[in-house]
Structure 1
Amino acid sequence: MKSFQQVLLFLLVLGLAALTVTAKINLAKLRQKFISATKANSTLFVRSLDYLHREPPFGEATNRYVKDDMWIEQKLDHFNESNTETWQMRYLMNDQYYQEGGPIFIFVGGEWAISAGGITRGHLVDLAAEHKGILYYTEHRYYGKSKPTNDLTIPNLKYLNAKEALADLAHFIKYQRHNTPGLANSKVIMAGGSYSASLVVWFKRLYPELLAGGFASSAPILAKIDFKEYKEVCGRAILEFGGQKCYDRVEKGVAELEAMIEQGRTAEIKAMMQLCDTFDENNDLDLWSLFSTISNLFAAIIQYQQGDDVPIICDYLLEADNDVVAIAKFFLLFVDNACIDVSYKGTLAYYIDSTYTGGANRPWFYQTCNEFGWYQTSSSRNQPFGTKFPLTLNNVLCEDVFGPEHTNSKLTAKVAQINLDFGGLTPNVTNVYQTHGSLDPWSALGHTAADGATILSSESHCSDFNSISKDDSAEVRASKEKLAELVREWLAN
């Protein structure tokens, strides 16, 4: 009997050791994914935002049928006939399943560089195979290799807006119908995720005659400056996936950091979090940048969480000696520098660079400063990330990067115009299937079940692009099957 108990104890210890090793491997993967996907020459504040606006998770391309980069000539200004300037927009094509007369399936690019994965694997690809359709992946102007102007100076950025991007899509469809054999009368199905899902909804509103149907996963369709709900949903995700102890650890750890600053203990914070000497504890903009970065790093895990991502992070936090040490350990997880730059001055220098070397960061920030807002702030008390990343941080940054005319009052007027033009939460479109994860932070700006959207329990951002599989929850599978049936209806009518 004793030997049997010893064997059981040995197996238990062995099992716990295996779990610990697995957790460490998964933690290392999360860390490496962040480091690989962001630019090390920017501040951690910029990198945290950059990670949040990456391409949806399609996975690697799986076949050889995607052609090399393809290009289409677009007008620089679709709404000014006197401007005859043009530029080359990149797109990708997969004609593996195409038979003449088949439909057109377009995955719409957003604030990222497009890759072949978007049209070589996943549910949209399966639908194209079923209907013998051709697949395209269009790249949004000013992102990836699609560069309408020589640089990103402020005069050139005036051609960067959602309406111009939608006009690019309209021209793309007309061009392909006219120039590709067998597509003259082909119906069009569009899909998008996040901002590009918004574009699908808005395209149906502005160009209904060009689109048979659309799939919009995680579409924020309401422009809003102070997007305080984003961090509220992040808090709910920590609570659901990580539990009350994890939520409390985050909340208490951030609160203690805030208290240390009020007590004049910033030297301790700088040492504990390995902040560079460029950090000025007497500058509110630096302090706000620090706390915004902390909250964004949590959001970086939560927004695209898969499997045990959040529980892994929570286990890591709960292993720490105390609350504030836990936050510092989490913060340090995402860097491999000798010191960490979260200075406002460093962020400003990065955003002011008007070359394309910064990737999507400057153009996307321009769009938020001129169209959408969508600033994720600490305005709400119903979240665990503290009080020190107010809307003012983004207001000041907009003015400092793009000029003093970019005031909050000007943005308020522009946001109101966007919601008027695109309908806000009432876009009045048909044949667009919208889905949201219940724990997607962006869902707060999209349609609810009452509006006709499908809400996927415990899912996060853009989590439903993969092919139907045994790993799908019953809800996710049913949603994918519903989309497939809708596509059949749209193409049959």
Structure 2
Amino acid sequence: MRFSHQLLGGTAFATLLGLGASFGMGWSTLQQDLEMAGMMGIDPETVFADRAGFKAAMKHHAEKSGAPEAEFTEIPIDHENPDAKYKNRFWVNDSKYKSGGPVFLFDGGEANAQRYADFYLVNETSFFVQLLEEFHGMGIVWEHRYYGESNPFPVNLDTPAEHFQYLNNEQALADIPYFAKNFKRENFPDDDLTPKSTPWVMIGGSYPGMRAAFTRDQYPETIFASFAACAPVQAQIDMSVYYEQVYRGLVAYGYGNCTKDVRAAYKYIDSKLRRGESAAEIKKLFLGDTAQNNTNGDFTQALIWTWATWQSQGPDGGVGQFCNWLETDPKTNKTAPAEGWAPTKGAKAVVERFAAWPGLVPRVNAAFETNCKGENPDEPTMCNLGKRVADPSGIAWTWQYCSEWGYFQYQNWPPHEILSDFQTDRYIQTSLCYRQFPDGLKSGYLPRRPKARQTNKATGGWHMRPSNTYWSGGQYDPWRSLSPLSQEWFAPKVDIITEIPECNKPTSPREIFGYIVPNAQHCYDFRSYFKAGEKSRQLWRAALHKWLPCFKKQE
């Protein structure tokens, strides 16, 4: 689902792959760049190494993609009082459509959906385009309210909390049936393309995957079938399990020594942070002059950028580079033993090696819009990590997780900790939620705590069982921990079945139709080139071939 932006210990993909509780000033846009690079088979490290070059390449791709022009439809700001309306953006590809085919709706989730239209809707390697071809379907990319150019009100640092009151799950779900009931195309004037006569199929990964499941469950007369990939439908404030999944993946991929050294390093770092003089020294060691002015929470949140690309890249790219750096002796080129270097070299040596990783400062500066260590010689050194999120998508998603979903990703459980002890529930609540919306509590629109319990009561959480719904998740995807495919100790015990259920018949509470993609992270089965995801894609296509013939036109 996408972090948001100011915390690897607290956010979201979502954007398609986003979800989260926050990482840094420009996290939302940066995460979109990372996930799109992964989808397109481009090395995501180029996003950090040459940010301007990557953006230029993406712009060139968009211009050459042949994506259709954006369209707009009027949607009520408040579905309970539908007089006032705003314009919501969407895109349509009807080039593969043949009369009688389904309408496929790809949800953009917590992101500007333009780049999804540029890739998913037209690129021949896109899983979505391949579905349009196979089923002779019409494709739509839908932009979520309050994101991109679909704004009931302007979204910026001056937006009052009152204007976010319509950014919630209930209102955003209601947008889909309102749009669908009036959908038509000039190219097909004789076809009734509304859900009364045409099956609508909703697809999404992460937060959009949640929306695909919720919409099928709450509006079955609109959405006939759904693909809910990596969908953490269980709202929960405590998501410390996020880094438990990262830990498990690191161990499984052969980086157990790295987890032990990181744990030792953070114990040392935290001990220094608890004392004023040594706190300033350790902050400057990692991020240079002026870093000492940050709180311990903001500073240690920035260090989490060593793990920031886990859900989009797993052990490849930045995470693997960091661990290889940490576990390789620069003098002998030897790799650390299973217990890591700390027992023999000492935690201080590990911390110094950690601080010297070349990839850390560029990541922090890209995420927090800073110039720590004077990385850009043309700009003054500036390492303020405590700024409010300015990216519009980041602002909107922060509102969503702070008000409804929770997803606070802080220190995971002993003895597997891979974060600082300063990453806490209190830090996320105060420094991310309250700081971001200074008028939130006073206005009465931002709850003191995310309303996770009320949200689950309204949606069913991971107990939901909508019919005609397929669920998938990556083996080491942190977001699977809060999906119906969760195998955590605190999750409902279910059997994951691959036998396709009969159409319009939900599985029993003890079963779920889905598949866990082996050795995969977040939404990897949406990547056509990822071979281990092919079984998941085949299951989904087979399910559609079984379910679509059951569709009956509504009177």
TM-score range, shorter chain: 0.7 to 0.9
The AA in structure 1 aligned to 2:531 is D
Task: Give the deviation of 1:477 after TM superposition.
Answer: 1.8
2:475 counterpart of 1:418? no
2:519 counterpart of 1:465? no
**Judging changes above 3 Å, is the alpha-carbon distance between structure 1 residues 412 and 423 closer, same or farther for their aligned structure 2 residues?**
farther
Equivalent residue number for residue 360 of structure 1: 393
**Judging changes above 3 Å, is the alpha-carbon distance between structure 1 residues 120 and 316 closer, same or farther for their aligned structure 2 residues?**
farther
Equivalent residue number for residue 434 of structure 2: 399
Task: Give the deviation of 1:311 after TM superposition.
Answer: 2.7
The AA in structure 2 aligned to 1:481 is Q
Q: Deviations over 1:253-300 (max 9, x none)?
A: 22221122235412321321234526436xxxx1012112222x1332
- Report the Cα distance in structure 2 between the residues aligned to 1:124 and 1:80, rounded to whole angstroms: 35
- Report the Cα distance in structure 2 between the residues aligned to 1:44 and 1:378, rounded to whole angstroms: 15
Contact 1:187 1:212 in 2 (8 A): yes
Task: Give the deviation of 1:390 after TM superposition.
Answer: 0.5
Equivalent residue number for residue 205 of structure 1: 217
Equivalent residue number for residue 298 of structure 1: 306
Q: Deviations over 1:285-342 (max 9, x none)?
A: x1012112222x1332211115732433321222466311232234324256214625
Among residues 46, 50, 71, which one is paired with 2:25 in the alignment?
Answer: 46
- Report the Cα distance in structure 2 between the residues aligned to 1:413 and 1:240, rounded to whole angstroms: 33
Equivalent residue number for residue 284 of structure 2: 271
Contact 1:48 1:293 in 2 (8 A): no
Equivalent residue number for residue 79 of structure 1: 80
CA RMSD of the aligned region, Å? 2.7
- Report the Cα distance in structure 2 between the residues aligned to 1:75 and 1:240, rounded to whole angstroms: 48
- Report the Cα distance in structure 1 between the residues aligned to 2:466 and 2:245, rounded to whole angstroms: 27
Q: Deviations over 1:199-224 (max 9, x none)?
A: 11110111011112111111010111
Contact 1:291 1:388 in 2 (8 A): yes
Contact 2:403 2:449 in 1 (8 A): no
Contact 1:109 1:139 in 2 (8 A): yes
- Report the Cα distance in structure 2 between the residues aligned to 1:315 and 1:477, rounded to whole angstroms: 30
How many residue pairs align between the two structures? 431
What TM-score do you get using the length of structure 2 for normalisation?
A: 0.72
The AA in structure 1 aligned to 2:526 is F
**Judging changes above 3 Å, is the alpha-carbon distance between structure 1 residues 103 and 166 closer, same or farther for their aligned structure 2 residues?**
same
Structure 1 counterpart SS, 2:298:
helix
Equivalent residue number for residue 334 of structure 1: 363
Unaligned 5+ segments in structure 2 are 1-21, 41-57, 331-348, 366-370, 375-380, 486-495, 497-510, 551-555
Equivalent residue number for residue 262 of structure 1: 274
More displaced 10-residue stretch of structure 1: 179-188 or 220-229: 179-188
Contact 1:187 1:491 in 2 (8 A): yes
**Judging changes above 3 Å, is the alpha-carbon distance between structure 1 residues 433 and 44 closer, same or farther for their aligned structure 2 residues?**
closer
Structure 1 counterpart SS, 2:521:
coil
Equivalent residue number for residue 38 of structure 1: none
Identity of aligned residues (%): 25
- Report the Cα distance in structure 2 between the residues aligned to 1:92 and 1:304, rounded to whole angstroms: 25
- Report the Cα distance in structure 1 between the residues aligned to 2:443 and 2:261, rounded to whole angstroms: 38
- Report the Cα distance in structure 1 between the residues aligned to 2:271 and 2:221, rounded to whole angstroms: 58
Task: Give the deviation of 1:76 after TM superposition.
Answer: 0.9
- Report the Cα distance in structure 2 between the residues aligned to 1:277 and 1:243, rounded to whole angstroms: 33
Contact 1:238 1:247 in 2 (8 A): yes
Equivalent residue number for residue 169 of structure 1: 176
Task: Give the deviation of 1:101 after TM superposition.
Answer: 3.0
Task: Give the deviation of 1:150 after TM superposition.
Answer: 3.2
What TM-score do you get using the length of structure 1 for normalisation?
A: 0.80
Contact 1:253 1:326 in 2 (8 A): no
Q: Deviations over 1:223-254 (max 9, x none)?
A: 11111101111122222224222112221222
**Judging changes above 3 Å, is the alpha-carbon distance between structure 1 residues 463 and 367 closer, same or farther for their aligned structure 2 residues?**
same
More displaced 10-residue stretch of structure 1: 143-152 or 158-167: 143-152
Task: Give the deviation of 1:411 after TM superposition.
Answer: 5.0
- Report the Cα distance in structure 2 between the residues aligned to 1:250 and 1:461, rounded to whole angstroms: 23
Select the structure that is richer in helix. 1
Equivalent residue number for residue 18 of structure 1: none
- Report the Cα distance in structure 2 between the residues aligned to 1:225 and 1:411, rounded to whole angstroms: 12
Q: Deviations over 1:371-407 (max 9, x none)?
A: 1111101153333213111010122132333333599
